[in-house]
Structures are given as C-alpha cells and as structure tokens.
C-alpha cells in the first residue's frame, strides 16, 4: 500500500506529517511513501531529502490524494481535501470529530476510514502515539522561549562586575503536559519557578522538577483527579476564590506567568484576572496557552500579542508547535509511524484495522463508510 502526505493548506501551518526519517521507518513496515512536492519545506525537509530516503515526490495535491491508499496529515482536512478521500482510503490526521460532524459524515458517505490522532486513548500503551501530548510538550517549551523573547531581563540570577541581577520569577498555572514542559524549561534557564494545579497529585512532579508547588489554605474540597480519569473537574466557587486570592498575593512579585489550565470539554477557566495584570510590574510577560479555548487571562486576545496599560505583555498565540515545525513534525511523524506499526501486524505493507483493539477503536472516527464516533470507553487503563 502507499502512504502519502500532502502539503498542509491551513494558512501559516508549517508542520508536515511525514519526515524523511519517519518515511524510512514506514518503508520498513512494507509501505511505499509519497510526499507532495514542497510539503516539508517550511519544516526544514527538502524534496531532495525525501527522495534520498526513498520517498516518491508527487506534484500537486490532487495527484497525491489520488495515488495514496493512506493519507497522513496534521490539520483536519478541508472539505475540498476530504472530497478526495474516496472509497477504501484511510485518512490519519488531527480531526477533532466532536467539532467536525459534517466532515465525518462526508468521509462516511465516501466510504472512507478516518483515524483521529486527537482521539488516541490516553493509556500507557498508547503514549507513543499520543500526538496531543507531543504537541503540548512543545507548546510548553515554546511558551517559555516566547516569554523570554519578550522579557527584558535574564531568567537566571547573576553576579557580574557590572552589578547583581536577580533571577526571574515564573509562575506556571496548570501542570499537565504543557505546564510540566514549561516548568522544566524555565527551571533549566535558571528562573525561580512556582506552579499551581487543582490536582494535588502533581505536587510531587512539580517539586521533583525543581519548582515550588503553590499550596492553598483550603481543606474542604477533595480535589480528586482519579475520579475524572486524571483530568481536572471544575472547582467550587469557594475553592476558586481561594485560588484567586493566592494569585493576587503572587501577582506583584511574578515576572512571567504561563497559564495552561484546561478542563476537558469546557471553556478555559478565567484565573488571571484584569486586576492581577494591573498588579504586575511593567515589563512582565503572560503567555496564555489556553487562548484557543477562551484564555485563562481576562486580557488575552487569541493569536495576538497585546500590551496592557501598565506595560504587561500578554501573548495568546495558538500556533506554538508550528513555530517549531522541525521538532513538532519529527515528533508528530513518529506518533503516526507508531500508529502505522500497530496497524500493520505482519509488517507487510497492509493495514489490518482491528476494531477490537482499544487504541485503534478509540481513535477511529469513521470506519469503512460508517461513523464510529464517539467510541466506547477503553477497557484497559
């Protein structure tokens, strides 16, 4: 079978779903690999590098989709792209089926199969295919780099002949995959890092990374992450008040705030309010990684960088992985390669789409012309 990757059509998207390296691995599984001419350019992969890795470079998206049995891409397809998904073809991509019902119906009408990379169950066995985590990790790292780029001082403290420099103070709100990556990056740059999460089980991880967990003076609420499958649940109004009170106490002292707080299926909770921004020192920076879901900060504008009246920069970009396209393409292409590995038990270049397999079933949004979303809950944790 042939696996092909088109050039991404979403404006500004620099990632690509196949790299020369992942193509070598896919060929070991018995597949022929195709790439649309120029598809890897923005991520730093030339057509020549693909050719050298044994990939056939195809001119034009129409030809690429036509010649491929399996199409791998990053962004959910446009309708024009999906119309090229004819009977028997399999699409593997970020797809967000819950928000893209029309696309799912269209793929089903066509008799195609769709594997949504964002639906890979978050169980240990599937970590190698967990593209949401690999992208969140990059976003967390890049948030710190972006903050540094907009901050007028060092992260690390220094004693120099010209004077003593205090270390920057960084607060990370939300210590999931992205938050932990931001903590690791800020600590490694020498900042003093504080972090808060509603899930108390992350305190140990935060502290083991060299940051300080911010505790609240609050005992009434049981913050039980296990009850929600490891994810956060909305906080009670009393807990939220305590949390905001703590943040108000910290705001004047923090140089950089990185917010990543999300609750599955909801708008981002508003945690960094206008008055907290007003309490911060001029030159401070906020990076809001929850911007796409409405933002954790009152002043965030999605996809923009704004400066408050008191001189605080607030960054609401939503394309952090694309800003590091070489890295993100490499990890995403590896996630896909691992998915193909599981889909190819005989390593003979033929897909065996086993709907009894929890991971494959969980990620399959459309199967041979039938919508199969939402999947049943996974049997194994």
Please state the separation of Cα 2 from the chain's center in Å: 28
**Any contact of residue 335 with ligand NAD (CB under 6 A)?**
no
Applying CB under 6 A, the site for ligand NAD has a residue count of 30
Q: Using the rule CB under 6 A, which residue among 123, 145, 187, 244 binds ligand NAD?
A: 123
Q: Which residue is nearest to ligand NAD (CB)?
A: 176
**Any contact of residue 136 with ligand NAD (CB under 6 A)?**
yes
How many angstroms separate the CA atoms of 209 and 92, rounded?
35
In degrees, rounded to 5, the angle at the alpha carbon of residue 138 between the alpha carbons of residues 10 and 23 is 65
Catalytic residue among 32, 130, 288, 358: 130
Contacts of 147 (CB under 8 A, 6+ apart): 170, 256, 258, 285, 287, 315
Catalytic residue among 47, 153, 205, 231: 231
Q: Using the rule CB under 6 A, which residue among 264, 309, 346, 376 binds ligand NAD?
A: 264
Residue located via tokens 């949390």: 243
Does residue 374 have a cis peptide bond before it, meaning omega lies within 30 degrees of 0? Answer: yes
Reduced to 3 states (helix: H, G, I; strand: E, B; else coil), residue 11 is: coil
Mark whether 127 is an active-site residue: yes
**Any contact of residue 232 with ligand NAD (CB under 6 A)?**
yes
Q: Where does this chain touch ligand NAD (CB under 6 A) — which range of 101-109, 119-127, 181-189, 311-319? A: 119-127
**Any contact of residue 377 with ligand NAD (CB under 6 A)?**
no
**Any contact of residue 140 with ligand NAD (CB under 6 A)?**
no
How many angstroms separate the CA atoms of 146 and 366, rounded?
38
Q: What length is written for the chain? A: 381
Judged by CB under 6 A, the chain residues 162 through 191 that form the site for ligand NAD are 173-179
How many angstroms separate the CA atoms of 80 and 85, rounded?
9
Nearer to ligand NAD, 132 or 145 (CB): 132
Residue 152 tokens, joined? 């007028």
Q: Using the rule CB under 6 A, which residue among 262, 285, 315, 340 binds ligand NAD?
A: 262
Contacts of 156 (CB under 8 A, 6+ apart): 165, 167, 168, 189, 190, 191
Judged by CB under 6 A, the chain residues 188 through 217 that form the site for ligand NAD are 196-199
| Shortest separation between residue 97's beta carbon and ligand NAD, angstroms | 17
**Any contact of residue 137 with ligand NAD (CB under 6 A)?**
no
| Shortest separation between residue 315's beta carbon and ligand NAD, angstroms | 18
User: Of all helices (H) and strands (E), which one includes residue 194?
Assistant: strand 192-196
Mark whether 130 is an active-site residue: yes
Mark whether 231 is an active-site residue: yes
**Any contact of residue 271 with ligand NAD (CB under 6 A)?**
yes
Residue located via tokens 């990556």: 181
**Any contact of residue 337 with ligand NAD (CB under 6 A)?**
no
Strands (E), 1-139: 2-5, 32-36, 56-58, 70-72, 90-93, 113-116
As annotated, the active-site residues are 122, 127, 130, 133, 231
Q: By the criterion CB under 6 A, which residues form the site for ligand NAD?
A: 122-124, 126-127, 130, 133, 136, 173-179, 196-199, 230-232, 235, 260-264, 269, 271
């Amino acid at each position: 079978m042939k696996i092909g990757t088109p050039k991404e059509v979403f404006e500004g998207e620099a990632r690509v779903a196949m790299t020369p390296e992942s193509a070598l691995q896919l060929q070991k599984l018995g597949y022929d690999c195709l790439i649309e001419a120029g598809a890897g350019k923005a991520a730093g992969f030339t057509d020549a590098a693909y050719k050298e890795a044994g990939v056939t470079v195809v001119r034009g998206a129409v030809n690429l989709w036509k010649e491929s049995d399996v199409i791998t891409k990053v962004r959910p397809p446009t309708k024009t792209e999906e119309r090229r998904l004819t009977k028997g073809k399999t699409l593997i991509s970020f797809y967000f089926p819950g928000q893209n019902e029309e696309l799912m119906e269209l793929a089903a009408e066509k008799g195609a199969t769709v594997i949504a990379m964002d639906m890979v169950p978050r169980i240990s066995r599937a970590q190698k295919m967990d593209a949401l985590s690999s992208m969140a990790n990059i976003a967390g790292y890049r948030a710190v780099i972006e903050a540094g780029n907009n901050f007028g001082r060092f992260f690390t403290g220094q004693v120099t002949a010209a004077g003593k420099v205090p270390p920057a103070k960084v607060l990370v709100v939300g210590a999931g995959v992205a938050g932990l990556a931001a903590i690791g990056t800020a600590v490694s740059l020498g900042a003093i890092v504080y972090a808060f999460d509603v899930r108390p089980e992350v305190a140990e991880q935060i502290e083991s990374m060299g940051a300080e967990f911010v505790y609240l003076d609050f005992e009434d609420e049981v913050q039980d992450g296990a009850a929600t499958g490891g994810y956060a649940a909305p906080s009670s109004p009393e807990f939220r008040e305590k949390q905001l009170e703590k943040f108000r106490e910290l705001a004047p002292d923090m140089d950089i705030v990185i917010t990543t707080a999300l609750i599955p299926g909801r708008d981002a909770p508003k945690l960094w309010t206008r008055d907290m921004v007003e309490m911060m020192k001029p030159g401070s920076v906020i990076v809001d990684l929850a911007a796409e879901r409405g933002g954790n900060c009152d002043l965030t504008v999605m996809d923009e960088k704004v400066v408050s009246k008191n001189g605080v920069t607030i960054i609401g970009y939503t394309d952090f992985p694309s800003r590091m396209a070489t890295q993100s393409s490499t990890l995403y292409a590896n996630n896909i390669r691992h998915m193909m590995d599981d889909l190819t038990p005989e390593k003979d270049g033929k897909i065996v789409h086993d709907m009894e397999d929890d991971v494959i079933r969980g990620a399959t949004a459309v199967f041979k012309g039938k919508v199969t979303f939402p999947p049943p809950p996974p049997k194994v944790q």
